[in-house]
Amino acid sequence: MFIRLYSLFVLALDLITLSFRICYTILVAFYRAFRPPPLKNLNGEIAMVVGAGSGVGKEIAIQLSQLGVIVACVDINAENCKATVQRAVQLSGNAKPYICDVTNEDQVTATVTKIVLEIGEITMLFHCCGFLSPHALIRDPPKIRQTIDISVLSHFWLLDSVLPSMKRAGKGHIVALSSVAGLSAGLSGITGGKGCIPLSAAQFAIQGLAESLHTELRHSNSNIIITLVHIYPFVVGAELLKDIRFRIPSYFGTMVASEAAHKILNGVRRNYTEFSIPGYLLYIGHALRMLPKKVSFMLRDLLDSGVNFG
């Protein structure tokens, strides 16, 4: 009897403590929504930016170099990769090009080894080639295997090679970019088609990977931070607006890649675990998970972009 009462007392105490901690965490999160944490200094960091040849990856690489980061620009397109490096150097940045097919495990291992030997231990990893632009989806929908290899499997090859480097350095920050399709099907804003199902599945996989990796590293007391960034594809290229027909255009602003990269780096420098571009989509995605599935379908019908992928 005494043991049972003691167990109930311990359980009650744990629940009370947990309740206070949850309330405190919610209050801190609410406070930080109005007063974000300060931006951390990245000077001297060594970043590997995958997909640095174009789009958001290119802008992230250039802006990182301007923040004092030594940037290893990685891309399968040699010409685009070298152009990014040239632009970074013109702006007094420090960057080097590395040509690599990240879907090839051997190439990834060789590239990471080369970066470590030539620059130093990698302390930041940006995976920017996991989502496609609306233009690419409209003109040439990717094959299923290609989508999964680029968006999902490449993460494993990169992590296997980069994590040991970060552990040797004693610190690290891994940043994965994903489409908002990883938040909810109701937020994808795209209309069916052969190119969308594999892409949405891949984005969900990236979210699961990031959450699992975060949990594993947290329990291992590792000084490595995981950041998952959800991006709405139609807001990172104003020049592609002519290819997209929005059902209600005023619902969506357009955002050039440089602005999106700036917002991404601000979130990374504040050590956010997860955020979205634009920011409100993350909260909408979480809210939809608590509502009946039919509600997400209704929202999708309302926000449907009207793009024909057929």
Residue-wise pLDDT for 259-270, tens only, equals 889 999 999 999
Highest mean pLDDT among 55-64, 181-190, 245-254: 55-64
- Section 65-77 average pLDDT: 94
**Confidence band, pLDDT 50/70/90 cuts, at residue 250:** very low
Residue 59, both tokens? 């802008």
For residue 192, give every residue at least 6 positions away whose Cβ sits within 8 Å of its Cβ, in sequence order, or none: 309, 310
- pLDDT of res. 58: 92
Q: Mean pLDDT across the stretch 73-86?
A: 93
- Quickly state the pLDDT bin for 188 (edges 50, 70, 90): low
What pLDDT score was predicted for residue 112? 95
Is the pLDDT at 38 greater than 60, yes or no?
yes
184: left (phi over 0), alpha (psi -120 to 50) or beta: beta
For 82-126, write each residue's pLDDT tens digit. 999 999 999 988 999 999 999 999 999 999 999 999 999 999 999
Among the ranges 28-42, 75-89, 202-216, which has the highest mean pLDDT value? 75-89
pLDDT at 127: 93
Q: So what's the pLDDT on residue 150? A: 86
What does the alpha-carbon distance between residue 64 and residue 47 come to, in Å, rounded to a whole number? 8
CA distances from 77 to 52, 82, 100 (A): 9, 9, 8
Q: Is the pLDDT of residue 289 over 60?
A: yes
Cβ atoms of 260 and 235 within 8 Å: the answer is: yes
**Whether residue 147 has pLDDT greater than 60:** yes
